[in-house]
Chains A and B, each alone.
Chain A
Amino acid sequence: MRIIPRKPVSPPNQTQSKSGGLPEDPMPLKLNDKNKLLAPYLDKNEDINKKDFLLGLELKIPARSVYLNQVVDKDAFQRHVLEPLMKYPLTVQEGLPPALINMLVNSGPSVSQVQTASTLKEIIHHIFDGLLVVFLDGYQEALVIDIHGGEFRTVDEPPGERTTRGPREGFIENLDINISMIRRRLRDPKLVVKKTIVGRRTRTPVAYLYIEDIASPEVVENLRQRIDAIDVDGIVAAGYLEQYLEKSPWSLFPQIFSSERPDRLVAKLMEGRVVVITHGTPLAFSVPTLALEFFQASEDYYERTVYGSITRFTRFLAFFLAVSLPSIYLSLFSFHPELVPFKLLLPVAQARSQVPFPVLIEVLIQEFIIQLTIESGLRLPGAIGQTVGVVAGIILGQAAIAANLASPAVIIVISVTTIATFVMPSSGMLLASRILRLPLILASGAFGIYGFSLAWLFIVIHVCSLEDFQTPYYAPFAPLRWQDLKDAAVRVPLWMMNKRPVSLPVSNLTREVKSEDYGRNDQ
């Protein structure tokens, strides 16, 4: 852990706060009256620091600072706020200057972010947003000073999206640091950062970023409206926001792409997407989303074209296997053994002859066990999780075969399926493949190849019907966009991708002004 100075959540004029029922009363002049007015909101909280002091060198004005413990940088408070205010040159002869608040904003605390607030609602929100508020006796307005601090996790390699050749930086839980990670990679003045607050009680800061001359204004406006329309108690993490934004909540397919890697989100911004970052979650998401994105990894672009293409294609194959392999096994051995090569059929049938269950039950039992193993492995700490995996995978598998509760073929099929599941670079599609194979198993168990084909047809129809932010989810495959197939099942060299994806609504399709051969044809 290290201490990172934090930037402001947002100046009030840039945020659209949901009031949460606080009164808009103006603050009284007297400090005691202010304290009484604020007492119902502040006194019950023991994490709020209140410090009384006297402002000015000669003319001492009673003042009180209020801030949240461990959210405000105490060192900055002492050196840049308290000290300058206590030593502020106010003489007795001059008396109370009417424009003192304005003078203090300009030349009081030696910090850059100083503003004023004069209503109870504004002040309460500022305090709970983590800002320092200073009240003066005899003045209605209060100083609102931004000296955010506190402890945050250090920037680290994202655990869910490791690469061998890419950057090792992942998002953390702090919104402003996350934005800065994107800014450092994308120094375009056209990159627009808009902030808002979501949740009446959590008042979670949310930022959406887009490149002004690439992103579609309709998409940006649509997203803004949808975020503004969220009027709930709280957004605890980005996942909450995602669920409020997605159009088909009952679909098994993830409809919003998220990543822990700033480099991936920068690439998304440059394709014309809008990126949304939620404070408190070490990931960001982008819209509009295509199904294809869940098969793309940042490694695909950092490695050479052929390697990137092969791994991409492998992922498509892995998805198919993850969803279909148990059901193909089931269809073949339950309904159409005549279609299995004889040399393969014989050993499998021999091994199966000792198993007392039908193939469907055998597959379902093994599938259930593997799902339990995955879940327990995910929740347990690293070393214990690995142990559980080994116990389940090797010892339990061997024991099941020895006890004739499962045939070796089923163990192999389920193991390959599980490995294929985890080839997916995105957790959203990984979860989808885990769930999708169950209906396929049941359909194949009941109707063989026919059930298998119908189940896949349902999946295709469903995927074709998904659409959000004017973008068909299954593009560029359907609707077919030939140009975008350059970066689909395989990818062409980066210099050949001189246009942005036409599947996305963007204002500017040109990625590379002039297509060059970059010296490849030089003699």
Chain B
Amino acid sequence: MSGLHHINGRQLMFIITGGQVGTAMLALPAILSREAGQHAWICVLLGAIVPILNVIIIEKLGSRHLGLNVVQLFQALLGRVLGYAMIIVFIIYLALSAIYFIDAFARLIQLFMLPRTPFWITVLLAMVCIVYAGSKGGQVVGRINETLFFGLVLSLIAIVIPALYHHDPTNLLPLGELDARELLRGIFYSIFAFAGTEILLVLYSQVDKPEQVKSAALKGVGLSTAAYLIVTICCLLVFGAERMVRYSWPGVTILKIAQVPVLERLEFYFLAIWVGIVLRRIINVIFSAALAIAQLFKAEDKIASIMLLIGAAIFSGSFISPTVMQYDVLLEYFSIVYLLIGMLLPLLLLLISWFRKEVFDVGA
């Protein structure tokens, strides 16, 4: 294991949370309310089952092949050629996710902060920051996640404050009238908000104590679920499901309604922190892609150059961008791709591993 990228269990927990919580924090309550009304928060809870299963599958897979990195794992289970092809597909998937995330992020920056600044400048600035972070290696990415997690806590506090002043508990009622189809659609959308656990495939081999992976990753998913749950419930309490549908980004709109003494509106503080929270997600995804490429070419010490290359590619890719209105359609596509590559691919690998009844332990 390369010392440059080695992380501990706690850092993995924060990386998993960081990999899951991003722009969706602002939009998810509206998307889920549109599908499931006041039961949006139930969709969040049930949607969390998918990443939990994903973590369990990847952990099982990793623990059966201790000491193998993601490239070696793919090649050990799928054969040299197919393994090579699939790891490239996986890297492309991570890169496309990053393009989607950074694009959504830059659009929101334009919407809320810099309406007149050219889109490419917004993306470029973010990419410089991401590449700088990733080029420092896994250890530093772990530390950044630890630090920025407290930013997430602060931003959640900012969202809770308006709910304390302007809440209406009846907005969560009635609880019983639940349409299964609506609920399922809500869960489907919430699954993509939780996308990000698949980076565990890459990071598993970098954790210094593999026995901590499962609990750390599950705690990470738990923290993400708690974050999404808090935002969704707060927005429901303040706006109610019917009113919330009118807002594209209720996670920000909620901050406009509270007047805090002296500071008055919390948007400035929230948005200042939110930039870090979203970039953390993109850093994690792009770094995982870069690390997988580094492992593919056995060049883990060249992570800075790889980050630079992948950063340039993603920057170019972000120009093939949809408008804000097309995001819902994209979200559906990405949810399917996430289910196929993020979820089904690790499951397939695990089944192959079970079928072959092989247990590797390079370190043993």
What residues make up the interface of A, taking CB atoms closer than 8 Å to B? Answer: 331-332, 335-336, 339-342, 447-454, 456-458, 460-461, 464-465, 472, 474, 477-480
Contact = CB atoms under 8 A, between A and B. Distances in A.
B65 interface: no
15 contacts: A340-B264, A341-B262, A447-B113, A447-B117, A450-B114, A453-B271, A453-B275, A454-B125, A454-B129, A456-B276, A458-B129, A460-B148, A478-B147, A479-B8, A480-B10
A281 B11 CA distance: 41
Interface residues of B, number: 33
A270 to B, nearest CB: 27
Contacts of B265: 339, 341
Query: How would you classify the secondary structure of chain A's contact residues: helix, strand, loop or mixed?
Result: helix
B35 interface: no
A447 to B, nearest CB: 6
Given A447-B113, A453-B275, A458-B132, 19 more contacts: A331-B268, A335-B113, A335-B114, A340-B264, A341-B263, A342-B264, A447-B117, A447-B125, A450-B113, A457-B133, A458-B129, A460-B148, A461-B136, A464-B144, A465-B140, A465-B143, A472-B143, A478-B146, A480-B10
Contact of B279 (A336, A340, A457): A457
Interface of B: 8, 10-11, 109, 113-114, 117, 122, 125-126, 129, 132-133, 136, 140, 142-144, 146-148, 262-265, 267-268, 271-273, 275-276, 279
A461 B125 contact: no
B114 A460 contact: no
Contacts of B132: 458, 461
A479 B143 contact: yes
A342 B109 CA distance: 24
Nearest to A340: B264
Given A457-B129, A457-B279, A458-B132, A450 B143 contact: no
With most chain A CB atoms within 10 A of its CB, the pick from B142, B262, B264 is B264
A339 B267 contact: yes
Contact of B147 (A336, A447, A474): A474
A233 to B, nearest CB: 35
A478 B272 contact: no
Nearest to A331: B268
A479 B268 contact: no
Nearest to A448: B113
A460 B109 contact: no
A269 B151 CA distance: 34
Contacts, number: 89
B126 to A, nearest CB: 7
Contacts of A478: 142-144, 146-147
Contact of A477 (B129, B146, B264): B146
A360 to B, nearest CB: 15
Contacts of A474: 143, 147
A465 B138 CA distance: 10
A480 to B, nearest CB: 5
B273 A453 contact: yes
Nearest to A472: B143
A478 B148 CA distance: 10
Nearest to B259: A341
A332 B117 CA distance: 17
Given A336-B268, A460-B144, A465-B136, A450 B276 contact: no
A480 B109 contact: no
Contact of A449 (B140, B263, B268): B268
Given A339-B267, A461-B133, A449 B10 contact: no
A395 B3 CA distance: 57
A454 B126 contact: yes
Nearest to B117: A447
Given A450-B109, A460-B147, A461-B132, A479 B276 contact: no
